[in-house]
Structure 1
Amino acid sequence: MLKFLDHLEEWLIAALMGAATLLIFVSVLHRYGASTELLNPWLAPINMSWAQELCIYMFVWMAKFGAAYGVRTGIHVGVDVLINKLDTRNRNRFIVFGLLAGAVFTATVGSLGANFVWHMSQTDQTSPDLELPMWLVYLAIPLGSYLMCFRFIQVMVNFVRTGELPHHDHSHVEGMEDETYSVGEAMEIGEEISHVQRGMGDAEWEDKQRKKGKGD
């Protein structure tokens, strides 16, 4: 179960972002296509007015679950100048207090949101274009807040055990290797790429390298 929760935010955000991007793309194509004489008879009867509303709801859900992702990965902005000047014992106390306060706050927001969603589900209120029950839209508040609370507790427990907090390196791009090259290595790699692009044979390339070595 915890393995599933470890990447829950990424999966939801990626799915929602991909769906929203595709929907906006289709909506724009429909809008411009319907304005042409050739495609107007086929596209004009298709109603895409709901696309903007659905995208807004998707971004709301992305924001709520993105906040939980931020807690887990440590990308939220925090002012810790004064705390870092304290001795280790007091610093750890303040960090635990801050994480606990975050958990209590998000749990409170989640409970209030759940109560709000419950009362809204007893009404017939729907969205303007999609006519979705509005309680489904607002369900992002309790779900996202409770997940954020869980992440605060998770980070706090890990900090108590190991003394480490999640840290996000903004200079690192996920999916790319951390290997670095010297200037000379980079030039050699560039030459290898260029010889492949020019269609130079391996024997010709090796002969060129031997001559270069003798010249050095």
Structure 2
Amino acid sequence: MKLLSKFWDKLEEILIILSLSLMTLVTFIYVVLNNLYQPFLDLADYFESLKSILEPIGIFIMTMAMEMTWSVALTKLFFGMLIFLGASYGVRTAGHIGIDVLVKKFSKTGQRNISIIACLLCLFYAALIAYASLEWIQAMFVADVGAEDLNTFNIKVWEIGLIIPIGYTLIFFRFIEILIRLFRGQQTDLGLADEASDALKLNEEHKE
């Protein structure tokens, strides 16, 4: 079980890193190509003797840039993956901000009970969105609609939309893990980030 949990954690991290890396790489290449062809064309006009060499290079780079109409759509796809996978990762690593000023005024038992109710609500919400998105994906699958600007890769709208139920399913299971720990008494809250506490710690460190 621990091995499966570690594999799941690593896979989640790898997919997040891969999404961020590919998004950055595609954007970088597109920006470089869009700014690289003009210097070659300018140099070709300035150096007549090298025009036959520099101009074709500039035109080739410009053509490549013009053909990358899919780059923005692909970047949005990777960004969407980053958002939904990152949401699940945030639940696991206490990356989401918690507003628990009132909750902390209760006893440990009260905090635990409130957290259980909050966790159940989060589970309901995650399950609801995952189910609703699956219905939408089914409709898109039947319609067989191609994704705009991604025809080059033959990507369909329903294939892009899969990240929503996958992401919320991962979030669902992350909250299941939290709920189990709450019932076992291993924690008394949802394990969210405490910005106020972090700010106070930073302020104390700064004073020192």
Aligning the two structures, in what range does the TM-score lie when normalised by the shorter sequence? Answer: 0.7 to 0.9
- Find the counterpart in structure 2 of residue 5 from structure 1: 8
Q: Distance in 2 between matches of 1:82 and 1:167?
A: 15
Question: Of 151, 154, 163, which residue of structure 1 is paired with 2:186?
Answer: 163
Q: 2:25 aligns with which of 22, 26, 36?
A: 22
Show the counterpart of 2:109.
89
Structure 1 pair 23–148 and aligned structure 2 pair: CA distance change class (3 A): same
* Cα distance in 1 for residues equivalent to 2:130 and 2:78: 19
Gaps of 5+ in 2: 42-53, 199-208
Q: How many Å separate the matches in 2 of 1:87 and 1:72?
A: 25
d(CA) in 1 for partners of 2:76 and 2:184? 40
Match of residue 44 from structure 1: 62
Q: Secondary structure at the match of 1:127?
A: coil
- What is the alpha-carbon distance in structure 2 between the residues aligned to residue 2 and residue 123 of structure 1? 37
Q: Find the aligned partners of 2:156 and 2:76 in 1 and give their Cα distance.
A: 15
Note the residue ranges of structure 1 that are not aligned, 5 or more in a row: 172-216
Q: Give the AA of the match of 2:173.
A: F
Please tell me whether the aligned partners of residues 145 and 157 of structure 2 are also in contact (alpha carbons under 8 angstroms): yes
State the distance in 2 between where 1:168 and 1:77 align: 5
**Partner letter of residue 159 of structure 2?**
L
Instruction: Check if 1:60 corresponds to 2:83.
Output: no
| RMSD of aligned alpha carbons | 2.0
Question: Which residue of 104, 125, 145 corresponds with 1:125?
Answer: 145
Runs of 4+ in structure 1 off by over 3 angstroms are 165-171
Structure 1 length-normalised TM: 0.74
Residues 24-82 of structure 1 show CA distances to partners (whole Å, capped at 9, x for unaligned) of 11111111122231332221232111111100111011101111111111121121111
Aligned to 2:167: 144
* TM norm structure 2: 0.76
Paired residues in the alignment total 172
Output the amino acid matched with 2:142: Q
